Amino acid sequence: MVQELRALLFFACILGLSSGADAQEPRGGGAPPEKLLSVHMEIIDQSYCQVDDQIFGVLMDLRLRFINVSSVPVILSRRIGSKTIVDVAPDVKAGKNMNFLYSNYVSSERDRLGDDAHLAPSFNDTPDSTLFVILAPSESFETVIFPGLLRSKGEVNGLIEGRLSKGSYVLQVDVSTWPYVGLHSEEERLAERWAKFGKLATGSVRSDFASFTIPEHFKKNRHCQERPPSF
């Protein structure tokens, strides 16, 4: 009888350890993106355009470098930047506390699914190298995005009706690693299907901060409508 009880306890322990391991390491990209990737941001160009007689826009070229900080391969969409939140704070401390002066959501209609499901790419049993990159641990992927910021000609403590005035700021972006809106179940199916290639990144991840300045006087380059995305 004692031997039978010991045998039952032994098998119970084995089952418990097995289920615990499964919970810690879910199949197919269960880890949050911030556990898989870090994002370094660099402002590589800054110019200005005119929205109307009173408002000007600040146009930026932002280089984003996604780094695999995990110990497993990460499958990352190449269409980064189609769903991005641009946040501006007076300094890094305020930004870390989420005290933003300006926040804007930039999206691209070309990556929207649902009613326009025909716009969705065809996902195969292996990640398409034209749509996805597989990053080994410590490897990185770079892309450039073009968010717009609004600037007012006037000035009231650095902020006018949600628009920025002249002064120094820090910029941070919250970037979605999955560019397609709608059909979220597709993400789960792909993560499961591609598990043997790596973890599929499907959530959003925040970049580090980059400093920039809006001068009092600047040269207008062009009309804002000449360059997407609109803001």
Q: What is residue 124's predicted lDDT score, i.e. its pLDDT? A: 85
Residue 171, both tokens: 């910029």
Domain that holds residue 202: 32-224
Q: Into how many domains does the chain fold?
A: 1
Residue 11 lies in a domain: no
Q: What is residue 32's predicted lDDT score, i.e. its pLDDT? A: 61
Lowest-pLDDT choice from 5-19, 76-90, 113-127: 5-19
Q: What is residue 13's predicted lDDT score, i.e. its pLDDT? A: 39
Rounded to whole angstroms, the Cα distance separating 183 from 214 reads 40
Residue 178 lies in a domain: yes
pTM for this one?
0.75
Q: What is residue 212's predicted lDDT score, i.e. its pLDDT? A: 94
pLDDT class of 107 with cuts at 50, 70, 90: low
Rounded to whole angstroms, the Cα distance separating 208 from 172 reads 6
Q: Is the pLDDT of residue 2 over 90?
A: no
Q: What is the 3-state secondary structure (H, E, C) of the chain?
A: CHHHHHHHHHHHHHHHHHHHHHHHCCCCCCCCHHHHEEEEEEEEEEEEEECCCCEEEEEEEEEEEEEECCCCCEEEECCCCCEEEEEEECCHHHHHCCCCCEEEEEECHHHECHHHHHHCCCCCCCCCCCCEEEECCCCEEEEEECCEEEEECCCCCCEECCEECCEEEEEEEEEECCCCECCCHHHHHHHHHCCCCCEECCCEEEECCEEEEECCCCCCCEEHHHCCCCC
Residue 3 lies in a domain: no
Closest to 172 measured CA to CA, from 201, 207, 140: 207
pLDDT in tens, 119-172: 556 788 999 999 899 999 999 999 998 888 887 765 544 444 557 888 899 999
Q: What is residue 97's predicted lDDT score, i.e. its pLDDT? A: 95
| Residue the block writes with tokens 């360059």 | 227
| pLDDT, mean of residues 71-88 | 89
CA 40 to chain centre: 11
Rounded to whole angstroms, the Cα distance separating 106 from 126 reads 30
Residue 219 lies in a domain: yes
Residue 6 lies in a domain: no
Residue 172 lies in a domain: yes
Residue 85 lies in a domain: yes
Rounded to whole angstroms, the Cα distance separating 196 from 123 reads 15
